[in-house]
Chains A and B, each alone.
Chain A
Amino acid sequence: MSKPHHAPGDVRSKSLTDYLNDENVRAVLYQVVAIGLIILTSWYLVSNTLDNLEQQNISTGYSFLDLEASFEISESMIDYSAKSTYATALLVGLLNTIKVAFLGIILCTIIGIIFGVARLSSNWIVRKLATVYVETFRNIPVLLQLFFWYALIPNSFPHPRDALEPLPGVLLTSRGLYLPVPIADTAYTLMGIAAILALVAIYFVKKWAKKRQDATGEPFPMTAAGFGIFFGLVFIAYLLGGAPTEIDMPTLKGFNIRGGYNISPEFLALLIGLTVYTSTYVAEVVRSGIQAVPNGQWEAADSLGIKRSVALRKVILPQSMRVAIPPLTNQYLNLTKNSSLAVAVGYPDLVSVSNTTMNQTGQAIEAISIFMLIYLGLSLLTSLFMNWFNKKMALVER
């Protein structure tokens, strides 16, 4: 779009068409029209919504959060009863979402790495088995898998009276999994503190080891030392705390099982479903990450006389991490978002608690806005992390 040409000294004022042909004027015009349309539409929708709410006698605002929720939640990580407020109920839901997402992420990473590496195995049969696993579970909708696991657990495990006991103290029943847990003791707090101290110590030892290797070329057995420091310190804390051995064993009392830690069938179904489904994607990410490292890197390591196992650890994996971490983060985010399917199997996650809240109070807009904002916040945090990581990992070229 060329700007209108005028001879020098031309004082003729620009006509309207001249203005309309100016690229900058047009850009402004387009944007004003677009924004205007959006404002008009939103205004129309909002005014309709307000009218409708008024007609249905629903008040707007978040004041309902302080009211008594008056519904029970089957599992909670914090103190909660029907007398608690809606805000507490939503917090319980959020914590439950975080719990299932956290465990799911850890498990799907482990399983995904195993199958991703297995797909590249030189062993034909292992390779094929891994392919079958990945192709099967990624091509079946995750909701169908959830329904399947959720129907399977109560139907195929026995009533608490004749619970299966695969390991002493571990009970498998139609009401979920029961695990023995140690009875609370100050020793465990001490062990927690020791674990944090150990991580700090490992960080400094690692720094020192890198400095020494840069200076002298002498490697330091960091993995062994790390495990040593961590478990050593935690064990010392355990001994200092008086080495408590009391354990809360789940036992059958009457018709139900008391004691121990109960993992509900809903949670188990959700966790298994999400883990299996996402692990197939993680496997693909891992596989393409390893394949993305050029062959020349293996050959270069060979020609330097580096052992193959060391080359994998020090040359190949650090480079495939750069390729794999962003899509991996994406998969973690997907798992977290998919955990909202909890509502279909009755696990009280954020969306499911919000749904109950919505049905009881009629505050649909507020409830939906709360969980949308929380998920958005999680996504935003993830993309911030990804940007930070990409910057840190970007190839530094001379």
Chain B
Amino acid sequence: MSENAKMPPLPTGTFGERAVTWSRKNLFDGWFNTLLTLGAIAFIIWLIPPIFNWAVVNATLTPTIEGCAEVTGACWGFVNANLRLILFGTYPYDEQWRPVLAMIVLVGIICGSLAAVKFPGLRKWIIPMWVIGVPVIGILMWGGVFGLTYVQNSFWGGLPLTMILSAIGVIFAFPLGLLLALGRQSNMPAIKTVSVVYIEVIRGVPLITVLFMASVMFPLFLPAGVTIDKLLRAQIGIILFTAAYLAEVFRGGLQAVPRGQFEAADSLSLSYWQSMRLIILPQALRLVIPPTVNSFISMFKDTTLVVIIGLFDFLGTVKLALRSDPAWTKYYVEGYAFAAAIFFLICFSMAKYSAYLEKELRKGERR
């Protein structure tokens, strides 16, 4: 720690000399560090080659059970043979370009919204993008208009389902969470109590209980004869759950806006909503973008829980593929590894972007 404060010596000498100096300082600094380095190298040598051999050298991509039986390594053929099932679930085979297009639209809007942090010119397009984009996704997925055949949402599945559940969850939770956060800050005792109770109750229980509630209790809440399907119930459960977490994120942002800003708005005799819209929220929301992305990441991971109430999201379709033929069942490592890799890529890159945004926002403060 205190070493960090010292200026590092300027690099001198040839590449080889510098490499030696670097490794002395970073790898072989004292007997304890040398021991750690040797141990770590031994660990890597023990771990990596067998995994590499299994995953690459001895693996096969042949999409047949017979082809997989011949090799000693990974049977990526399982993923290869069931790729469409894993990615899109039971969505009609010939129509699967539609979920692909829907995913592209969704990723486009998400990236566009996030890019707006960096490019202020995009900001005024965020709301139009979502207002147009979400119905477009709905039309693509459901169909039934413009000559697209109608696809019931019980056939939806795989990666598009995971992305839709989490993205729509966060988008609809956004306004609800904002209202809850404002309610929590409010001077009106009744409104404050309702917001606090809602936020704390939802945050106090696991997501799976909210999903159980959505799948078992929602049907009881509706008048006899009215039913809403399982996907929509899960989506509502996810929205209600996310809203409580976003409310706490927004509260953090609101609390970070200095008191003087509220007073300045008051002294201009702006109304509550005017001061919020023009003064407070623009400052608060800017601060909460990175934690909101983090909420989205955890929602993206938590969406897998809908498997438990019988929906086939990306994890559910992997399980579906594993069960599709008893001969495939033993290739669960390959199936789960594939799903894990996709989840990792998406979550990791979003997490890195969120960390970058946080740094960018702090840069502005320092200026």
Residue of A whose beta carbon sits closest to that of B266: A1
Whole-angstrom CA separation of A375 from B203 in the bound complex: 10
Residue of A whose beta carbon sits closest to that of B302: A141
A379–B221 touching, CB < 8 Å: no
Residue of A whose beta carbon sits closest to that of B43: A129
A125–B40 touching, CB < 8 Å: yes
Within the complex, the shortest CB–CB distance from A295 to chain B, in Å, comes to 6
Interface centre among A48, A144, A378 (most CB of B within 10 A): A144
Q: Which of B69-77, B78-86, B107-115, B208-216 forms part of the interface with chain A? A: B208-216
A interface: dominant SS: helix
Within the complex, the shortest CB–CB distance from A233 to chain B, in Å, comes to 34
Mark A113-157 against chain B: 1 for CB-CB distance below 8 A, else 0: 000000001111110010000011001111111011001100100
Contacts A141-B302, A141-B315, A147-B319 known; A355 to B330 CB distance under 8 Å? no
- Residue B51 at the chain A interface, CB threshold 8 Å: no
B220–A48 touching, CB < 8 Å: yes
Within the complex, the shortest CB–CB distance from B192 to chain A, in Å, comes to 10
Mark A290-333 against chain B: 1 for CB-CB distance below 8 A, else 0: 00000100110010000000000000000000000000000000
Whole-angstrom CA separation of A123 from B22 in the bound complex: 11
B224's contact among A51, A136, A337, A338, by CB below 8 Å, is which?
A51
Residues of B in contact with A, size category? 35 or more
- Residue B344 at the chain A interface, CB threshold 8 Å: yes
Q: Which of B88-96, B130-138, B254-262, B304-312 forms part of the interface with chain A? A: B304-312
Q: Which of A26-34, A61-69, A162-170, A185-193 forms part of the interface with chain B? A: A26-34
A122's contact among B26, B201, B333, by CB below 8 Å, is which?
B26
A144–B340 touching, CB < 8 Å: yes
- Residue A380 at the chain B interface, CB threshold 8 Å: yes
**Cβ-Cβ contact count across A and B, 8 Å cutoff:** 161
Interface residues in B1-45 by Cβ distance below 8 A to A read 1-5, 26-27, 29, 33, 36-37, 40-41, 43-44
A375's contact among B204, B305, B319, by CB below 8 Å, is which?
B204
Interface centre among A38, A52, A143 (most CB of B within 10 A): A143
- Residue A45 at the chain B interface, CB threshold 8 Å: yes
Within the complex, the shortest CB–CB distance from B169 to chain A, in Å, comes to 15
Q: Which of B170-178, B183-191, B279-287 forms part of the interface with chain A? A: B183-191
- Residue B100 at the chain A interface, CB threshold 8 Å: no
Residue of B whose beta carbon sits closest to that of A30: B188
Residue of B whose beta carbon sits closest to that of A302: B2
- Residue B56 at the chain A interface, CB threshold 8 Å: no
B221–A45 touching, CB < 8 Å: yes
A338's contact among B3, B201, B206, by CB below 8 Å, is which?
B206
Within the complex, the shortest CB–CB distance from B52 to chain A, in Å, comes to 15
Interface centre among B37, B40, B187, B200 (most CB of A within 10 A): B40
Given the complex, which residues of A lie within 8 Å of B190, measured CB to CB?
31, 34-35
Given the complex, which residues of A lie within 8 Å of B40, measured CB to CB?
123, 125-126, 129
- Residue B339 at the chain A interface, CB threshold 8 Å: yes
A34–B344 touching, CB < 8 Å: no
Residues of A in contact with B, size category? 35 or more
Whole-angstrom CA separation of A9 from B217 in the bound complex: 61
B206–A351 touching, CB < 8 Å: yes
Whole-angstrom CA separation of A35 from B191 in the bound complex: 8
Given the complex, which residues of B lie within 8 Å of A141, measured CB to CB?
301-302, 304, 315, 343
A372–B205 touching, CB < 8 Å: yes
B336–A147 touching, CB < 8 Å: yes
A337–B206 touching, CB < 8 Å: yes
- Residue B361 at the chain A interface, CB threshold 8 Å: no
- Residue B117 at the chain A interface, CB threshold 8 Å: no
A144's contact among B205, B222, B336, by CB below 8 Å, is which?
B336
B220–A379 touching, CB < 8 Å: no
- Residue A364 at the chain B interface, CB threshold 8 Å: yes
Mark A358-370 against chain B: 1 for CB-CB distance below 8 A, else 0: 1000001100100
Within the complex, the shortest CB–CB distance from A119 to chain B, in Å, comes to 13
Residue of B whose beta carbon sits closest to that of A293: B1
Whole-angstrom CA separation of A135 from B221 in the bound complex: 42
- Residue B194 at the chain A interface, CB threshold 8 Å: yes
- Residue B332 at the chain A interface, CB threshold 8 Å: yes
Contacts A31-B190, A123-B33, A355-B212 known; A135 to B41 CB distance under 8 Å? no
Within the complex, the shortest CB–CB distance from B348 to chain A, in Å, comes to 5
Interface residues in B344-366 by Cβ distance below 8 A to A read 344, 347-348, 351
B301–A375 touching, CB < 8 Å: no
- Residue B223 at the chain A interface, CB threshold 8 Å: yes
Within the complex, the shortest CB–CB distance from B358 to chain A, in Å, comes to 13
Given the complex, which residues of B lie within 8 Å of A135, measured CB to CB?
348
Given the complex, which residues of A lie within 8 Å of B267, measured CB to CB?
none
Whole-angstrom CA separation of A361 from B323 in the bound complex: 30
Residue of A whose beta carbon sits closest to that of B223: A48
B209–A143 touching, CB < 8 Å: no
A340–B347 touching, CB < 8 Å: no
Whole-angstrom CA separation of A109 from B37 in the bound complex: 24
Interface centre among B3, B44, B304 (most CB of A within 10 A): B304
- Residue A341 at the chain B interface, CB threshold 8 Å: yes
Whole-angstrom CA separation of A96 from B145 in the bound complex: 52
- Residue A230 at the chain B interface, CB threshold 8 Å: no
Interface residues in A1-60 by Cβ distance below 8 A to B read 1-2, 27, 30-31, 34-35, 38, 45, 48-49, 51-53, 55
Mark B306-346 against chain A: 1 for CB-CB distance below 8 A, else 0: 01100000010001000000000010110010011001100
- Residue A344 at the chain B interface, CB threshold 8 Å: yes
Interface centre among A142, A340, A351 (most CB of B within 10 A): A340
Within the complex, the shortest CB–CB distance from B194 to chain A, in Å, comes to 7
Given the complex, which residues of B lie within 8 Å of A123, measured CB to CB?
26-27, 29, 33, 36-37, 40
Residue of B whose beta carbon sits closest to that of A359: B216
A340–B208 touching, CB < 8 Å: yes
Given the complex, which residues of A lie within 8 Å of B208, measured CB to CB?
340-341, 343, 351
B212–A368 touching, CB < 8 Å: yes
14 contacts between A and B (CB under 8 A): A1-B271, A52-B224, A123-B33, A124-B26, A129-B43, A143-B305, A143-B315, A144-B304, A144-B336, A299-B2, A337-B206, A351-B209, A364-B220, A375-B206
| Extra inter-chain contacts (14) besides given A141-B315, A147-B336, CB under 8 Å | A2-B269, A48-B221, A51-B223, A123-B40, A124-B27, A139-B344, A140-B340, A140-B343, A143-B305, A148-B332, A155-B330, A298-B1, A302-B2, A376-B201
